[in-house]
Amino acid sequence: MSDKKRDIGFYLSIYRKILIQDLKSKMSYRADFIISTFGMILTNLSGFITFMILFRNFPSINGWDYHHMLFLYGFALVSLTPVQCFFDNNWNLRFHVRTGDFIKYCFRPINVFFYFMSEVFDIKGLGQLAFGIGTLIYAWSHIGLEVTFGSICLMMLYLVTASLFMIAIMNFAAATAFWMEGSGNVMVIMFRFKDYARYPASIFNKIFRVIFTFIIPIAFVAYYPSLAILDPSEAPVMIGIAPIFGILFFFLSYKFWMRGVRRYDFTGS
């Protein structure tokens, strides 16, 4: 049966079964799970403390005060959770390609991208998600934003859009493993760019703003969506079609990833 004939229900059923097995495997090492989750929370807490220390000396950063910066920080954490939880296996792609183990994914009668990504669910990302949601709620309440059905829907739309951009960036970076040996360095560099998502793009010079908007769209991971929620009048016009761009960017990253698979399948290396 070809992939085209399989509907989303089929893949959801497969993913549920794989996820259950993966979680059972991880929960068999509960100490490791607890320690790693606690470590993830501490890492994010350190960022929170950094903001507190920073804003004791500076009342605002380019017009962004403490609570607005916390909103941006929380938004970034939540939007980065999907790439952390569902696409973490991208980090292992280069090892599978290098050793030749990746060939096993090419023989299964299922979408290779789906099969590879579904093998790993990084449960530690749930700690990041909880911390991010808590930060968002805290910042939202202190900023005084109105809570309406429309505002919540808009927030969810922009969070999904932001996630698509970050997932696409990491897909592009990971897929370079099919063409080059140093893909790990590309992954690290692209992943480190996520740290810039926690700051207003307006603090960077014009060249970097262009790069973070049109080349490596980190600004769409938190800054532009947050700006559209906090101060719509200051948000760029293109934020209105950002969801379309997010879907397109993800689709292009998927096609690039699958092009690498075809190259690997044809050459065996």
- What is the C-alpha separation between 174 and 266, in angstroms, rounded? 19
Q: What are the structure tokens assigned to 40, written together?
A: 């993830």
Task: Find, among 136, 63, 106, 119, the residue nearest to 265 by Cα.
Answer: 106
Task: Find, among 94, 48, 56, the residue nearest to 72 by Cα.
Answer: 48
> Residue 1's pLDDT is what?
41
Beta-bridged to residue 65, according to DSSP, are: 60
Task: Find, among 164, 132, 103, 128, the residue nearest to 39 by Cα.
Answer: 128
- What is the C-alpha separation between 98 and 181, in angstroms, rounded? 8
| pTM confidence score | 0.89
251: pLDDT strictly greater than 70: yes
Residue 74: Cβ-neighbour burial (10 angstroms; 0-12, 13-18, 19+): buried
**Lowest-confidence pick of 19-33, 107-121, 185-199:** 19-33
Mean pLDDT of 152-157: 95
53: pLDDT strictly greater than 50: yes
Mean pLDDT of 164-187: 95
Confidence of residue 2 (pLDDT cuts 50, 70, 90): very low
> Residue 267's pLDDT is what?
58
User: What percent of the chain is modeled with pLDDT above 70?
Assistant: 95
Beta-bridged to residue 171, according to DSSP, are: none
